[in-house]
């Protein structure tokens, strides 16, 4: 845990309590089994709005609290522990794009509604199945055209922050926007979004696109941190109660050492993730490096822990009734979003001139 | 970012201390000493101290700043953690190094401050703080490595003294040490509860040391033989049978220092980085990147591992509240520190090819020859101070609560 101030400690504890009481994994299961159209529970989302979490990175003049990214990460991490299905991360980072962008109109129109949770926004960035920062969407006379095949939280979004070849734009749902649901392994909201001469408000150039993608990657890494911690704890609890050969599994040294290795990697993961969030808040010039470090380490660690969760649960880990599969499937999606470990290692190397 | 420990001390008083530290260092550190190091704690044994080095050691010893956070009553600096950090920063700025070091500072001193009686603390702590005494560690035995508690060196109660017989091994710096803190058996009927923590004068009759030559060619360790060595009763630390508790506490201090928690990682990184060595020996491609793509990827991974570790050490320092000292989490740090040290050395010799495997003589630069020895010596890092496997046991049992077979 980074050195947190009092507000941050309160926020973290409150988010943890809320997630455990109001949004346990069973809530996500229920949503999945009901085949929710938007991919989230509107009641849970309005509670999140009421608690002010959607406004954590929005300035106070627009109804937010401006606590910053470390605070946002703490909340997202707690929700990630229980696989809470909410558009919080997507909405917050999309709001950041408006905050950092150049359009006063967009700020006035959208930020108060995003801060209160009344509206939902998301990022429509990548052009293909892999993150590569190459964009073809174009804007002509204030109208944007292009296709984004994998937009997380796209089903329920009221506004899209869209990466075009020359920078970042804000597009409201409606005229020229077609959203079609994609069914992904993680049972969360993903949509293909097509923009055809959709009215677009310019937010900034490609430097803003990069800054927003870095923020999205850092917040995703925070969600992954919560997932990894929780997957690890659940596995540990299971090893302590499952008996074979007349012994609890946790007494076998081969398993003890695998758990010790995972705990070690989790420590490095927390440092890297919090380091990136702190770098964003401090406005440091090496946010790009800090984020690539965080996402690469988060990817490697969550991959290790989520795969081990299945393996160490044995046969029951393969059943839908146990939660291991839910963590595994969400992990694989988040490992892919905003860049794989190898993509970020390559970027880290380039940034350092290696 | 402020920590809880810093909050009870106003920032301006810490900054005022910075001025004080800067002025004192300017008056006492001879810039000609830059780039040198503590003569007492070198792996290959102490070198003769120059006059300038001795003056610097005496000045720091007098001030207590070699052990900045130890209590002033016992010759320490009495500084807060925040002030100690400022001191370290100011020393780093002018290239000043700490002339007070060794096992007395890293392990024995902190442990004695916790467990020693008044007479023991008054006798030993100030002399460690002034860098006057070299301590060595009498723990491992030929038959007691990872299973340390099976140690057999026996201290027989002879009324006013113990009569010690047995053999220790891997005694770091034993051939140069003045004193030894040792785990000995005072009761043969109990394994852990039969162990006591005893201070032995290395100049006593019946103490013999034999250096052990390692694969790196150096001999930093000894076999140490105790034959009918008389040790006064007042040299027992704590109670008879409390040795395992005291001894494992000391190991936490050791792991803390071995993990780089006290800044040794920064020292190892002095000089060229792995990517720089790679470009020099293997060349760069048209884009200026390390030419061999597979090697480049592994180097990047290593550099990122190191960065994440540095962030973790920083985080651990910020989170440490008050002076609770190291916890079982130091096992995690020790293992990661060992992995990074060994990865770096393996990468370096791979990059340098045959030029990185020279043993001695013509055709190799001093840096190349040193690299060979560093690589070989580095194999000890995951073995000493509790092997990586033992650290994993500690993590599983003490942190994760995974128990032995019942």
pLDDT digits (tens, 9 = 90+) for A3-21: 788 999 999 999 999 999 9
Tell me the average pLDDT of chain A.
Answer: 97
B303 vs A: CB within 8 A: yes
* The pLDDT of residue B75 is above 80: yes
Q: Which two tokens stand for residue B87?
A: 């001191």
Q: Under DSSP, is residue A195 helix (H, G, I), strand (E, B) or coil?
A: strand
Whole-angstrom distance, CA of residue B222 vs CA of residue B168: 8
Question: Residues of A with CB below 8 A from B1's CB?
Answer: 2-3, 278
Reduced to 3 states (helix: H, G, I; strand: E, B; else coil), residue B139 is coil
Mutate one of B301, B400, B404, B406 to test the A interface: name it (highest A CB count within 10 A).
Answer: B400
A113 is written with which tokens? 């509604």
Which of B202, B189, B368, B355 lies closest to B272, judged by CA?
A: B368
- Please name every residue paired with A244 in a beta bridge, in sequence order, or none if there are none: A247
Both A342 and A257 in one domain: the answer is yes
Spell out which residues of chain A touch residue B3, defining contact as CB-CB under 8 Å: 3
| pLDDT class of B255 with cuts at 50, 70, 90 | confident
- The verdict on A186 and A98 lying in the same domain is no
What whole-number distance in Å separates Cα of residue B81 and Cα of residue A157? 49
pLDDT of residue B4: 39
A41 domain-assigned: yes
Q: How far is A272 from chain B (nearest CA, A)?
A: 5
> Out of B296, B319, B332, whose CB is closest to A349?
B296
- How large is the average pLDDT for residues A262-266? 97
Q: How far is CA A152 from the centre of its chain?
A: 9
Domain span at residue A96?
Answer: 6-116
* 8 Å CB contact between B131 and B46: no
The nearest CA of chain A is from the CA of B395 a distance in Å of 6
Pair (A183, A215) in one structural domain? no
Do both A127 and A14 map to the same domain? Answer: no
Domain final position from A205, A235, A252: A205
Sign of CA dihedral B77, B79, B83, B89: positive
Exactly one of B254, B303, B319, B368 is catalytic; which is it?
A: B254
Rg (CA), chain B: 22
Give yes or no for B97 touching A (CB within 8 A). Answer: no
pLDDT digits 0-9 by tens, B334-353: 999 999 999 999 999 999 99
Give the A:B interface size as CB pairs under 8 Å. Answer: 121
Neighbouring CB atoms inside 10 A of B371's CB total 22
CB contact under 8 A, B308 and A353: no
Contact A293 B1 (CB under 8 A): no
CATH of the domain at A154: 2.40.110.10
Cβ neighbors of B53 (< 8 A, separation 6 or more) are B33, B36, B39, B99
What is the number of alpha carbons within 13 Å of residue A321 lying toward its C-beta?
3
State how far the Cα of A313 lies from the Cα of A315, in Å rounded to an integer.
6
Name every residue whose Cβ is closer than 8 Å to that of residue B19 and which is 6 or more positions away in sequence. none
* Chain B CB contacts of A275 below 8 Å: 311
In A, which residues are within 8 Å of B309 by CB distance? 268
CATH at A64: 1.10.540.10
- Whether residue A214 is found in the same domain as residue A343: yes
Q: What pTM does this model have?
A: 0.87
Query: Of B395, B259, B361, whose CA–CA distance to B317 is shortest?
Result: B259
Using the CB atoms, write b or e for B328-358: b if 16+ within 10 Å.
Answer: ebbbbbbbbbbbbbbbbbebbbbbbeeebeb
CA B288/CA A353 separation, integer angstroms: 7
Written as six digits, the tokens of A127 are 């052009």
Whether the pLDDT of residue B8 is over 90: the answer is no
Last residue of a domain, one of A67, A96, A116: A116
Query: A214 and A200 in one domain?
Result: no
Residue A260 has its nearest CB partner, among B288, B319, B395, at B395
> Could you tell me the CA-to-CA distances from B286 to A348, B1, B259, B289 in Å, in that order?
18, 42, 38, 7
- How far from the centroid of its chain's Cα atoms is residue B230's Cα? 29
Q: What percent of chain B has pLDDT over 70?
A: 90
Least confident of A19-28, A211-220, A288-297, B50-59: B50-59
The answer to whether residues A193 and A295 belong to one domain is no
Burial of A252 (0-12, 13-18, 19+ CB in 10 A): middle
Query: A41 to chain B nearest CA, in Å?
Result: 35
Q: Do A348 and B303 touch (CB under 8 A)?
A: yes
Which residue does chain B place closest to A269, by CA atoms? B308
CA A320/CA A83 separation, integer angstroms = 15
Whether A253 and A319 share a structural domain: yes
Encoded tokens for B172: 């770091």
Q: Which residue of B146, B300, B328 to mutate against A (max A Cβ within 10 Å)? A: B300
Hunting for tokens 């073809």 — which residue is that? Answer: A136
- 3-class DSSP string for A149-169: EEEECCCCCCEEEEEECCEEE
Helical axes A324-336 vs A287-313, angle rounded to 10°: 150
As a whole number, the mean pLDDT across chain B is: 89
Tell me how close the Cα of B93 comes to any Cα of chain A, in angstroms: 22
pLDDT on residue B6: 41
Q: How many Cα atoms within 13 Å fall on the side-chain side of residue B405?
A: 6
Q: Are A217 and A348 within one domain?
A: yes
Token pair in block for residue B398: 């003490």
Considering the domain architecture, whether residues A230 and A336 belong to the same structural domain is answered as: yes
Of A274, A296, A353, the CB nearest to B304: A296
Q: Which of A3, A259, A269 has its CB closest to that of B396?
A: A259
Q: Is B378:B264 a contact under the CB 8 Å cutoff?
A: no
pLDDT tens, residue by residue, B26-53: 999 999 988 777 766 555 566 678 889 9
State how beta strands A159-164 and A121-124 pair: parallel
Same domain, A221 and A338: yes
Query: Which of A255, A271, A293 is nearest residue B315 as measured by Cβ atoms?
Result: A271
Name the residue among A3, A236, A275 with its Cβ closest to that of B2. Answer: A3
- Point out the residue among A2, A248, A293 whose CB comes nearest to the CB of B307: A293
A271/B308 touch (CB, cutoff 8 Å), yes or no: yes
Q: Give the pLDDT confidence of B121-175 residue by residue, as tens digits.
A: 999 999 999 999 999 999 999 999 989 999 999 999 999 999 999 999 999 889 9
All domains of chain B, ordered by start, with CATH? 4-101 (1.10.540), 135-241 (2.40.110.10), 259-399 (1.20.140.10)
Residues of B in contact with A240 (CB under 8 A): 401-402
The nearest CA of chain B is from the CA of A353 a distance in Å of 6
Number of residues assigned to chain B = 406
Which residue is associated with the tokens 């008879």? B240
Count other C-beta atoms under 10 Å from residue B259's C-beta: 27
CB contact under 8 A, B402 and A350: no
d(CA B310, CA A290): 12
Q: Is residue A1 part of a domain?
A: no
Q: Which helix (H) or strand (E) holds A198?
A: strand A190-204
Beta pairing partners, A258: none
What is the pLDDT at residue B14? 83
Chain A CB contacts of B332 under 8 Å are 263-264, 267
Res B9 pLDDT > 60: no
Determine, for residues A278 and B1 on separate chains, whether the beta-carbon distance falls below 8 Å: yes
Question: What are the chain B neighbours of A343 within 8 Å (beta carbons)?
Answer: none
The three-state secondary structure class of A23 is: coil
Same domain, A59 and A125: no
Q: Determine whether the interchain pair A268/B308 forms a contact, defined as Cβ–Cβ distance below 8 Å.
A: yes
| Residue B234 among the catalytic residues | no
B26 touches chain A (CB under 8 A): no
Q: How many domains is chain A partitioned into structurally? A: 3
Residue A47 in any domain: the answer is: yes
Confidence of residue B7 (pLDDT cuts 50, 70, 90): very low
Exposed / middle / buried, residue B155 (Cβ in 10 Å: 0-12, 13-18, 19+): buried
pLDDT value at residue A22: 97
Choose among B216, B211, B219, B196: nearest CA to B139: B196
| Weakest mean pLDDT among A61-70, A310-319, A332-341, B30-39 | B30-39
Whether the predicted pLDDT of A204 surpasses 50: yes
As a whole number, mean pLDDT of residues A263-269 equals 97
Residue A224 Cα, gap to closest chain B Cα (Å)? 16
pLDDT tens for B267-293 read: 343 468 899 999 999 999 999 999 999
Give the Cβ contact number of residue B121 at 10 Å: 18
The 10s digit of each residue's pLDDT in A89-105 is: 999 999 999 999 999 99
Q: Which of A59, A94, A116 is the last residue of a domain?
A: A116
CATH number of the domain to which A249 belongs: 1.20.140.10
Between positions 110 and 139 of B, the ones with CB within 8 A of A are: none
Q: Which alpha helices (DSSP H) does B77-152 contain, by range?
A: 81-94, 103, 109-115, 118-129
Q: CA torsion angle for B124, B129, B133, B134 (degrees, to 10)?
A: 110
Q: Looking at CA atoms only, how far is residue B260 from chain A in angstroms?
A: 15
Residue B5 has pLDDT above 70, yes or no: no
């Amino acid at each position: 845990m980074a050195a947190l101030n009092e507000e941050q400690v309160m926020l973290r504890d409150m988010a943890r309590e809320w997630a455990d009481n109001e949004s346990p994994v069973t809530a996500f299961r229920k949503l999945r089994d009901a085949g929710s159209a938007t991919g989230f529970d509107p009641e849970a989302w309005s509670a999140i709005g009421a608690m002010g979490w959607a406004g954590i990175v929005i300035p106070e003049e627009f109804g937010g609290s401006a606590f910053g990214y470390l605070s946002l990460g703490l909340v997202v991490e707690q929700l990630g522990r229980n696989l809470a299905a909410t558009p919080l991360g997507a909405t917050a980072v999309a709001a950041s794009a408006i905050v950092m962008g150049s359009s006063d109109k967009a700020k006035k129109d959208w930020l108060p509604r995003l801060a209160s949770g009344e509206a939902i926004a998301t990022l429509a960035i990548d052009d293909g199945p892999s993150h590569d920062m190459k964009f073809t969407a174009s804007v002509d006379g204030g109208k944007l055209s292009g296709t984004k095949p994998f937009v997380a939280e796209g089903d329920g979004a009221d506004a899209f922050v869209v990466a075009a070849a020359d920078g970042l734009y804000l597009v409201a749902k409606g005229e020229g926007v077609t959203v079609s649901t994609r069914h992904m392994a993680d049972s969360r909201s993903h949509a293909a979004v097509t923009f055809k001469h959709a009215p677009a408000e310019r937010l900034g150039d490609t430097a803003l696109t990069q800054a927003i993608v870095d923020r999205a990657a850092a917040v995703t890494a925070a969600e992954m941190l919560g997932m990894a911690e929780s997957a690890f704890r659940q596995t540990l609890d299971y090893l302590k109660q499952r008996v074979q050969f007349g012994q609890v599994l946790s007494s076998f040294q081969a398993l003890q050492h695998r758990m010790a290795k995972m705990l070690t990697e989790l420590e490095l993961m927390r440092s890297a993730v919090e380091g990136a969030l702190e770098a964003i808040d401090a406005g440091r010039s090496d946010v790009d490096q800090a984020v690539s470090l965080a996402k690469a380490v988060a990817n490697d660690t969550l991959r290790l822990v989520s795969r081990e969760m299945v393996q160490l649960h044995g046969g029951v880990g393969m059943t839908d009734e146990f939660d291991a599969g839910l963590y595994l499937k969400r992990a694989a999606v988040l490992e892919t979003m905003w860049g794989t470990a190898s993509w970020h290692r390559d970027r880290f190397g380039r940034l350092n001139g290696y | 970012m402020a920590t809880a420990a810093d909050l009870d001390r106003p920032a301006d008083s810490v900054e005022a201390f910075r001025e004080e530290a800067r002025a004192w260092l300017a008056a006492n550190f001879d810039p000609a000493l830059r780039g040198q190091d503590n003569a007492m704690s070198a792996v290959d044994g102490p070198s003769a101290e120059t006059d300038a080095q001795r003056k610097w050691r005496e000045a720091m010893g007098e001030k207590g700043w070699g052990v900045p956070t130890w209590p002033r009553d016992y010759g320490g600096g009495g500084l807060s953690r925040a002030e100690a950090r400022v001191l370290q920063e100011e020393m780093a700025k002018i290239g000043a190094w700490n002339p007070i070091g060794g096992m007395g500072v890293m392990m024995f001193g902190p442990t004695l401050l916790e467990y020693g009686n008044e007479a023991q603390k008054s006798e030993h702590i100030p002399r460690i703080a002034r860098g006057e005494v070299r301590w060595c560690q009498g723990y491992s035995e030929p038959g007691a490595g990872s299973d340390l508690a099976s140690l057999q060196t026996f201290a027989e109660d002879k009324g006013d003294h113990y009569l010690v017989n047995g053999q220790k091994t891997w005694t770091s710096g034993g051939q140069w040490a003045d004193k030894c803190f040792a785990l000995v058996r005072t009761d043969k009927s109990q394994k852990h509860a039969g162990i006591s923590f005893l201070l032995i004068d290395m100049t006593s009759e019946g103490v013999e040391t034999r250096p052990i030559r390692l694969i790196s060619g150096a001999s930093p360790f000894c076999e140490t033989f105790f034959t009918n060595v008389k040790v006064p009763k007042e040299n027992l630390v704590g109670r008879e049978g409390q040795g395992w508790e005291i001894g494992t506490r000391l190991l936490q201090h050791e792991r803390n220092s071995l993990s780089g928690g006290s800044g040794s990682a920064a020292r190892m990184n002095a000089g060229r980085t792995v990517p720089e060595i790679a470009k020099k020996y293997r060349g760069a491609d048209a884009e200026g990147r390390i030419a061999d793509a597979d090697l480049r990827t592994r180097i990047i991974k290593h550099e990122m591992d190191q960065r994440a570790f540095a962030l973790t050490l920083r985080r651990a320092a910020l989170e440490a509240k008050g002076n609770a000292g190291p916890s079982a989490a130091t096992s995690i740090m020790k293992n990661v520190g060992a992995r990074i040290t060994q990865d770096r050395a393996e990468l370096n010799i791979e990059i340098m090819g045959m030029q990185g495997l020279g043993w001695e003589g013509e055709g190799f630069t001093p840096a190349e020859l040193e690299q060979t020895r560093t690589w070989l010596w580095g194999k000890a890092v995951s073995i000493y101070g509790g092997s990586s496997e033992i650290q994993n046991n500690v993590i599983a049992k003490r942190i994760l609560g995974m128990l032995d077979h019942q």
